[in-house]
A and B are shown apart, each in its own frame.
Chain A
Amino acid sequence: MSDIADKVKKIVVEHLGVDESKVTPDASFIDDLGADSLDTVELVMAFEEAFSVEIPEDAAEKIATVKDAIDYIEKQKAA
């Protein structure tokens, strides 16, 4: 797993208070990890802060799973 993936996973565990084993790439924040809409807003903010990236609202709306977040951040960092 990349550094980015590790860090994303850690943030998700911390913010949603879920067990690390549940934070699989395909896990949906809302359907699998118990987040509500406000949790996902906070999660996106935490990603922005941790990775020094801007995640505009229309992009944030498409981030539904752990993998979505990792892919988006990796793409931003590569650009």
Chain B
Amino acid sequence: MSGTATNGRRVVVTGIGVVSPLAVGAELTWKRLIEGQSGIGRITHFDPSELPAQVAGQVPDGPTAEGGLTLSDWVPAKDQKKMDRFIHLGLAAAIQAVEDSGWMPEDEDGRCATGVMIGSGIGGLQTIYDASLTVSSGKARRLSPFFIPSALINLISGHLSIRYGFKGPNHAVVTACATGVHAIGDASRLIQYGDADVMVAGGAEAAICSLGIAGFCSARALSTGSNDDPTKASRPWDKDRDGFIMGEGAGVVVLEELEHAKRRGAKIYGEIGGYGLSGDAYHITAPAEGHNGAFRAMKAALRNSGGLTTADIDYVNAHGTSTMADDLELDAVERFFGDDAKRLAMSSTKSAIGHLLGAAGAVEAIFCLQAIRDGIVPPTLNLDNPARESVIDRVAHVAQQRKIDVALSNSFGFGGTNASIILKRFKD
């Protein structure tokens, strides 16, 4: 981004929160991820035996201290039934991020300069399903007054703003599986343009319900061949991959204008280094041959990076969903990096947690920040036999120690929407 509109305002990340199939908590999720653990198992949220896909990445229940979900630690009991599960998970991640950042505005100016932009790919699907049963059984007048606000995608933003009194921009992204990256990227721009000094941004998803799984099954998008061996089901780039594995959870970051963060002595995870968007204009669910849309999104992110080149990028967190489209992304990444592909590490963390749809991009951006901080590249599980060879190291099976200063994360969504975001080590 150049020109005067941004006044050179830089955006850093000062708080992170994750709810994933590996754990509730950003650091425990990361620890389990780099240990090579898998969060995929047989679906227990409902009985999946009628459906061809029966495995998913569900957020584990359990004590908060052990990385399980204890909902009452995040949402008061009397409010829980007024929100769909995607809002529960989104709030749990957002509260973590806000508390991690230590940012709590003390005056009205501070509250008005703090905004929220937490989206979802699908929203309250289970809530909509339940409500439709009420209506179809002739009880339309008995529909809960909380049905609509429970299902609406922007209500994570709404609830969070009410909880903390954040009165800045109140927004929510809905771009299917690109939601998380779009939310962080667009929220960063609101800070760059001075609409806010702090933005709480990310995505959440909870679509592991009969309607969600059946719908993606009908679209022939889910893996059906590993129902008896769930941890082997998600296998990006592997020749035996046969569809994605649905995951649920949320990822939320606190984005902050650099000088604002410095003034209050905030811990800085990294800087937003660039952000790019593109559209395929091709097909509602499939990317085009060569994945030109992915190529253009990465190119746009680099163009907005203030002078980075492909030689500066050390790690790519791929969209890599464990479908045939993995190789199209690989084509685009190889083409985009050219000779620099040889020194690149690229992994798909969906191999461990599944595809968190609207939360995926936000969780994966957080993994990039943790990879930069710790000098560790998370692995691609189950990459036993790559469907095709590549000069890019795809970090099969085990995590690698590697110095990472700049990472790029890709997310692509149904409708042909693509987004890439660059995270980089903060240097004053």
For A38, list chain B residues within 8 Å (CB). 82, 145-146, 149
A16–B82 Cα distance when bound, in Å, is: 11
- How many residue pairs link A and B with beta carbons under 8 A? The number is 20
Evaluate contact between B78 and A45: CB separation under 8 angstroms: no
Evaluate contact between B144 and A45: CB separation under 8 angstroms: yes
Which A residues between 39 and 79 are near B, CB-CB below 8 angstroms?
41-42, 45, 48-49
**Which of B78, B142, B145, B149 sits near A49, CB closer than 8 Å?**
B142
A-B contact pairs, 8 of them (CB 8 A): A15-B78, A16-B78, A38-B82, A38-B145, A42-B146, A45-B141, A45-B142, A45-B145
A17 within 8 A of B: yes
Query: How many of chain A's residues touch chain B, expressed as a range?
Result: 10 to 19
B76 within 8 A of A: yes
> Which single residue of chain A is at the shortest CB-CB distance from B141?
A45
Shortest distance in angstroms between A19's beta carbon and chain B's nearest beta carbon? 11
**Which of A17, A18, A42 sits near B144, CB closer than 8 Å?**
A42
Evaluate contact between B145 and A42: CB separation under 8 angstroms: yes
A38–B148 Cα distance when bound, in Å, is: 11
B77 within 8 A of A: yes
A16–B76 Cα distance when bound, in Å, is: 11
Shortest distance in angstroms between A60's beta carbon and chain B's nearest beta carbon? 12
Which B residues between 140 and 154 are near A, CB-CB below 8 angstroms?
141-142, 144-146, 149
**Total B residues in contact with A, Cβ cutoff 8 Å:** 10
Which B residues between 100 and 145 are near A, CB-CB below 8 angstroms?
141-142, 144-145
> Which single residue of chain B is at the shortest CB-CB distance from A17?
B78
For B142, list chain A residues within 8 Å (CB). 45, 48-49
For B145, list chain A residues within 8 Å (CB). 38, 41-42, 45
Binding site for A on B (CB under 8 A): 76-78, 82, 141-142, 144-146, 149
Shortest distance in angstroms between B271's beta carbon and chain A's nearest beta carbon? 41
> Which single residue of chain B is at the shortest CB-CB distance from A35?
B78
A49–B143 Cα distance when bound, in Å, is: 12
A49–B141 Cα distance when bound, in Å, is: 11
**Which of B76, B141, B146, B149 sits near A17, CB closer than 8 Å?**
B76
Other contacts beyond A18-B78, A45-B141: 4, CB < 8 A: A17-B77, A38-B146, A38-B149, A48-B142
Shortest distance in angstroms between B277's beta carbon and chain A's nearest beta carbon? 37
A64–B225 Cα distance when bound, in Å, is: 57
Report the 7 A-B pairs with minimum CB-CB distance, sorted nearest first: A17-B78, A41-B145, A38-B145, A17-B77, A42-B145, A42-B144, A45-B142
For B76, list chain A residues within 8 Å (CB). 17
| Residue from B78, B142, B146, B149 whose CB has the most chain A CB atoms within 10 Å | B78
Shortest distance in angstroms between B4's beta carbon and chain A's nearest beta carbon? 45
For A42, list chain B residues within 8 Å (CB). 144-146
A40–B78 Cα distance when bound, in Å, is: 13
A41–B82 Cα distance when bound, in Å, is: 13
Shortest distance in angstroms between B148's beta carbon and chain A's nearest beta carbon? 10
A38–B149 Cα distance when bound, in Å, is: 10
Shortest distance in angstroms between B82's beta carbon and chain A's nearest beta carbon? 8
For B77, list chain A residues within 8 Å (CB). 17
For A49, list chain B residues within 8 Å (CB). 142
Shortest distance in angstroms between A39's beta carbon and chain B's nearest beta carbon? 8
Which A residues between 12 and 45 are near B, CB-CB below 8 angstroms?
15-18, 38, 41-42, 45
For A16, list chain B residues within 8 Å (CB). 78
Shortest distance in angstroms between A61's beta carbon and chain B's nearest beta carbon? 14
For B78, list chain A residues within 8 Å (CB). 15-18
For B141, list chain A residues within 8 Å (CB). 45
| Residue from B76, B141, B145 whose CB has the most chain A CB atoms within 10 Å | B145
A66–B373 Cα distance when bound, in Å, is: 57
A15–B149 Cα distance when bound, in Å, is: 17
For A15, list chain B residues within 8 Å (CB). 78
A15–B146 Cα distance when bound, in Å, is: 12
| Residue from A15, A18, A38 whose CB has the most chain B CB atoms within 10 Å | A38
